[in-house]
């Protein structure tokens, strides 16, 4: 399975100490150079985030289709890390793109890329028995990683997780 990730799912899971869920669910994650650079340049207090590109199960790949990246950045107003993640997912015909940002998700959907966000990953982790509950991790994301979840989505995720 080919899985590409944007920066925020990796940094957010790292911030709450659950980055390993990605390896347990997907085995290997591919990230573009811009995402690796964003992670490596995280604030000094985010040492765990800065180490994510060095994890054995993370593969860093450059994006060949720079014209798509430029189009996404200039015409679609998508951040460079997201743009490279979307372009790499297209190039690799990825089975999944891990992305949370609304504009990036919309563009990935338009391009036919299957997507999942961090909350979907938490539900999958619970379904596989990797975590016992989704609620405490969602609460940690909100408190520690400034992750925003609309109240309705928060409730929907808990229902999906059987909590």
Residues 70 and 126 in one domain: no
Residues 111 and 126 in one domain: no
Residues 56 and 68 in one domain: yes
Quote the pLDDT of residue 45: 65
Task: Find how far residue 78's CA is from the centre of its chain.
Answer: 15
Quote the pLDDT of residue 98: 98
Residues 99 and 126 in one domain: no
Quote the pLDDT of residue 145: 85
pLDDT in tens, the chain (163 residues): 999 999 999 999 999 999 999 999 999 999 999 999 999 988 756 768 888 999 999 999 999 999 999 999 999 999 999 999 999 999 999 999 999 999 999 999 999 999 999 999 999 999 999 999 999 999 999 998 889 999 999 999 999 999 9
* Predicted model pTM: 0.94
User: In terms of residue numbers, what domain contains 148?
Assistant: 119-160
Task: Find how far residue 114's CA is from the centre of its chain.
Answer: 13
Residues 106 and 128 in one domain: no
CB 37: neighbour CB atoms within 10 A?
16
Residues 77 and 153 in one domain: no
Residues 125 and 106 in one domain: no
CB 45: neighbour CB atoms within 10 A?
8
Contact 160, 149 (CB under 8 A): no
Q: Does the CA dihedral 73-114-144-15 come out positive or negative?
A: negative
Give the SS3 label for residue 85: helix
CA distance 117 to 98: 5
Residues 88 and 61 in one domain: yes
Residues 83 and 149 in one domain: no
Last residue of a domain, one of 84, 100, 117: 117
Residues 87 and 154 in one domain: no
Show Cβ contacts of residue 117 under 8 Å, excluding neighbours closer than 6 positions. Answer: 9, 98, 99, 100, 105
Quote the pLDDT of residue 42: 82
- As for how many domains the chain has, the answer is 2
Residues 24 and 96 in one domain: yes
Alpha-carbon distances, residue 93 vs 2, 40, 51, 111 (angstroms): 8, 26, 27, 11
CA distance 80 to 157: 29
Write the CATH number for 38: 3.40.50.1010
Quote the pLDDT of residue 5: 98
Residues 18 and 96 in one domain: yes
Q: What is the pLDDT of residues 88-119, one digit of tens each?
A: 999 999 999 999 999 999 999 999 999 999 99
Contact 48, 79 (CB under 8 A): no
Quote the pLDDT of residue 44: 58
């Amino acid at each position: 399975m080919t899985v590409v990730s944007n920066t925020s799912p990796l940094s957010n899971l790292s911030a709450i100490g659950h980055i390993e869920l990605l390896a347990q669910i997907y085995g290997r994650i591919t990230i573009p150079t811009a995402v690796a650079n964003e992670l490596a340049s995280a604030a000094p207090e985010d040492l765990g985030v800065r180490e994510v590109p060095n994890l054995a199960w993370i593969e860093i790949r450059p994006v060949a289709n720079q014209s798509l990246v430029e189009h996404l950045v200039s015409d679609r107003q998508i951040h460079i890390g997201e743009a490279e993640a979307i372009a790499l997912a297209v190039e690799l015909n990825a089975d999944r793109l891990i992305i949370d940002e609304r504009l990036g998700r919309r563009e990935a959907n338009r391009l036919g890329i299957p997507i999942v966000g961090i909350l979907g990953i938490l539900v999958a982790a619970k379904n596989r028995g990797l975590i016992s509950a989704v609620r405490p991790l969602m609460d940690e994301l909100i408190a520690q990683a400034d992750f925003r979840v609309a109240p309705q989505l928060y409730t929907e995720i808990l229902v999906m997780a059987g909590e």
